[in-house]
Amino acid sequence: MRLVPHPFLARRGTLLAAVLLLAACKGSGSSDLADSDDPGDVPDPVVLNGPETVYGLPNLDNLADDWTKQDYDDDELVPFEIVPSAVAPASFRLTLSGTEQSARIWHDGEIVATGGTPEVELDGGTEPLELRVEFKDFDTDAVLEVEELDENGDVLQSIEVALRASPLFLNHHLQPAELIIATEVSVYGFDNDAMVEGYANAIGERFESANGNRYFQDPWMQDELEFGYGVLPDGQALDLVIDSIRDRGLDDYPEDVWAGEGFGVKTWGRGYASSQDSFGNLEVSPPVDDFPFGRIYYGAGRGYAPQATKLFDVLEENRIQEPFQVDISWLCVGHVDEFMTFVPDSTAPRGFRFVINDVDAAYEVLDAMDPATPLPRYAGRQNHNYDTVGELVDDNGLRVHNEDVQLDHLDPIREQMIAELGLLDEEVVLLPGLFEEIGYCGNTNAALIPGMANLIVADFGEGTNLFIADPFLRSNLNDQSSDPMIQAVQDALPAEAELHFLDDWDVYHLGLGEVHCGSNVLRTPSPTDWWTNDLGGSK
């Protein structure tokens, strides 16, 4: 078997070629097959030969129209050859199995075998049989049996070729960033200009905004779409936007902006969406033991669950990033990104830290502040109605409520994350966070201090950038250096990261979201090997 890994990732409309792994055939009609495991082997001319496995990417780009159009020259059709034995058979019989309608075989410009018509006979001869395989979806696992037949229809030799589409992977925070996106909104006298400018100033053209007027002023860019990908052994990849069934103002955005050649957009499920169908509630850990692509985690709880069961069925079946649930029933919005995340840190044992909100860490900062410190951003009925630090720290009702949040929710979730992911104590960072009850939300909770764990991670190859909600725990709103909460966060997060504290107050914080909720990141697919031991769910 030979495999020459491609060092570069070809993306967005490039040829999605197969990896033809010419190897020992798993023939059933002959016992004298050549052993072609030796490096440099050429196919044994005596026996029927073909690749052991053909890898491909699902033909989901262009809104999956290409599958319907049936174009023989489409990039996603993966060519491979069957080399006949020296016998020169009268015909070949192809039999496709292991798939319903998710793979099909092409020959000479025509579809010759599908899940519905799995068997076909083609003319034999001495020339290699040129075939192509096309996959409809991720993680497709099929087998093509190729038989050489004589003039009487008797089988001379046969081989099996495994047909394998890349599993679907969701991005994690250690993958390089390529682009950050957010909606530019202005609604009822409030706008997110400060956050948009903060991004643009920090990363320039690597930030793009969507027009809020076009998308009904929907600011929750994280929630409508989830970036994922498929990748092949040669490094070629298909980007994918999973389009949530949430379908609020940004509903058309994935199709408008991302669908195209080499870029797929797909929705699993339909109908009523709960808040848990938003993709701020669908996150992935960095690689951990036994999970080289990380693990998916999402929020659910009694009475709180994603309704897009098809999507979550797919994710559950795709054990490569084996998902687990976290209780979010104590939150108004109910998304896992509201209180925890992962950030890169080259000084950490495995290159990352797990960050989770902590009430004691917040009070440690607040209690040390001068109680007379004015808090102009928190003052007033439209905000949180705390004029000074003293009012905040002396609010015993708030304090005992947060103690309960810590004991009842944050502590158990931290322990669960440690257990599920095998985290080390030194990998855990406690980030200050306070919560308050939301009366119009069944007395569940949302961040009182802007949720700073609700952050964006982006490394464009020049080091880690963390985009974090500005906590505004200071009197001079224009002087972040005077903010002790910012200082505490800087001390807690990796020193190598560049921290950008963005003003997300009016549009996001008061709408019960923060920076991560209002942004999304396109990342470079991970070239990590999933194929050698086929980590896919169907194996």
Partner 1 sequence: MNRLALLALLLPASALAGWQDDVANARAACDTDASLCDVVDNLGVRENRAGLWFVQDSRLGVEHLPVLLHRMQQETDRMMRPALATGIAQLFTDADASWHPAWAELAATDPSPQVRSIFITELRRAPMTAAGPGLRGALAHEDALTRRDAASVMGRQLEAKAFVDDLLGALDDDDAVVRKTVVRALGHAADPKAADAVRAAVEADDQLANEARRALERMGVE
Residues that bind partner 1 (CB under 8 A): 187-190, 220, 223, 248, 275, 278, 280, 332-335, 381-382, 385, 395-398, 400-401, 404, 407, 437-443, 506, 510-513, 517
Report, in Å, the least distance between residue 194 CB and partner 1: 16
CB nearer to partner 1: pick between 279 and 530:
279
DSSP reduced 3-state for 510? helix
CB nearer to partner 1: pick between 494 and 513:
513
Q: 448-478: string of b/e by CB count within 10 Å (b at 16+)?
A: bbbbbbbbbbbbbeeebbbbbbbbbbbbeee
**Residue among 75, 105, 67, 99 at smallest CA distance from 11:** 75
Phi, psi of 254 (to 5 degrees): -60, -40
Report, in Å, the least distance between residue 274 CB and partner 1: 9
Residue 431, CA distances (Å) to 325, 413, 485, 515 in order? 22, 14, 10, 15
Report, in Å, the least distance between residue 240 CB and partner 1: 24
CB nearer to partner 1: pick between 102 and 276:
276
CB nearer to partner 1: pick between 75 and 514:
514
Beta-sheet strands, E only, within 60-203: 78-82, 91-97, 103-107, 110-113, 119-123, 129-135, 141-149, 155-165, 169-170, 177-184, 186-187, 190-191
DSSP string, 10-47: --SS------EEE-----SS-S----TTSTT----TTS
CB nearer to partner 1: pick between 439 and 461:
439
Separation of first and last alpha carbons in the chain:
20
User: Token digits for 149?
Assistant: 């037949």
Report, in Å, the least distance between residue 445 CB and partner 1: 11
CB nearer to partner 1: pick between 142 and 502:
502
Report, in Å, the least distance between residue 513 CB and partner 1: 4
**Residue among 489, 475, 375, 365 at smallest CA distance from 429:** 489
CB nearer to partner 1: pick between 13 and 376:
376
Helix (H) or strand (E) holding 354, with range, is strand 352-358
Report, in Å, the least distance between residue 359 CB and partner 1: 15
CB nearer to partner 1: pick between 396 and 481:
396
Report, in Å, the least distance between residue 508 CB and partner 1: 8
d(CA 244, CA 230): 18
- Residue 154's CB: how many other CB atoms inside 10 A? 11
Report, in Å, the least distance between residue 187 CB and partner 1: 6
